Amino acid sequence: MTAAIALEDVTLRYGGRDVLRELTLVVEPSEVVALLGPSGCGKTSALRLVLGFVAPSKGNIRLGGDIVSRDGQILRLPEQRGIGVVFQDLALWPHLTVWRNLAFGLGSRKLPRREMDDRIRTMLGRVGLADKEGRRPSDLSGGERQRVAIARALVLEPVAVLLDEPLTNLDVGLKRELLSMFRELLKEQKTTAIYVTHDLREAVTLGDRIAVMGEGHIVQEGTLDALRARPSNGFVQDLVDALP
């Protein structure tokens, strides 16, 4: 089976410093991988490479088997990659309604109006916002804005979705609720995803597999049981020991 996303022996260098070094990560079709690690370890930089915002200094980025970036070159532009993204700050358009936030990306697809309306209506219903389509982001709660952001990404029916710590600053109960919803939506649509987090609980709840990052590379990958059974180093040991 051809991997949906693959970072192959990737190094990313900024100002003479290796932000990522010889990083390899493979995500299979319909798999959700939680990319776990502390701030500054390179998680968001890895997402930026997949999105095509930056090129690797060395190594390949593949989508569906095709090389889209390699050795300092971007071969396929971000808008040509078909990837949805949910940023940490959500990046919703503040002046647009919920409906228009979802319609904005679909507009470039030149879909028939009825198909576009049906997709938006269905997605808003799935995330529990059918009655909020006319509201603006400022009129919504934090949890509702998170729902708009995931809906906006998934309504595009992307080849993959990248989520960069979208639940920061939410309380534990709301995080649990939204993680459950995210997982259900991703599995329902068979969407490949990378979920970036520094919270092991989030990683365990959402990820089929956890990839632990430290100092610019993957330290260990596997399920929580696998990490617990054979941690590769003290860093991984401390992570799994912190979870009851």
Per-residue pLDDT of the chain (244 residues; tens, 9 = 90+): 799 999 999 999 988 899 999 999 999 999 999 999 998 899 999 999 999 999 999 999 999 999 999 999 999 999 999 999 998 888 899 999 999 999 987 877 778 888 999 999 999 999 999 999 999 999 999 999 999 999 999 999 999 999 999 898 788 899 999 999 999 999 999 999 999 999 999 999 999 999 999 989 999 999 999 999 999 998 899 888 887 6
At residue 137, what are phi and psi to the nearest 5 degrees? -50, -35
User: Backbone dihedral region of 28: left (phi > 0), alpha (psi from -120 to 50 degrees) or beta?
Assistant: beta
Q: Crossing angle, helix 142-154 and helix 172-188, to 10 degrees?
A: 10
Q: Under a CB-based contact definition with an 8 Å cutoff, are residues 143 and 178 in contact?
A: yes
What's this model's pTM, rounded to 2 decimal places? Answer: 0.93
- What is the C-alpha to C-alpha distance for residues 20 and 215, in angstroms, rounded to an integer? 7
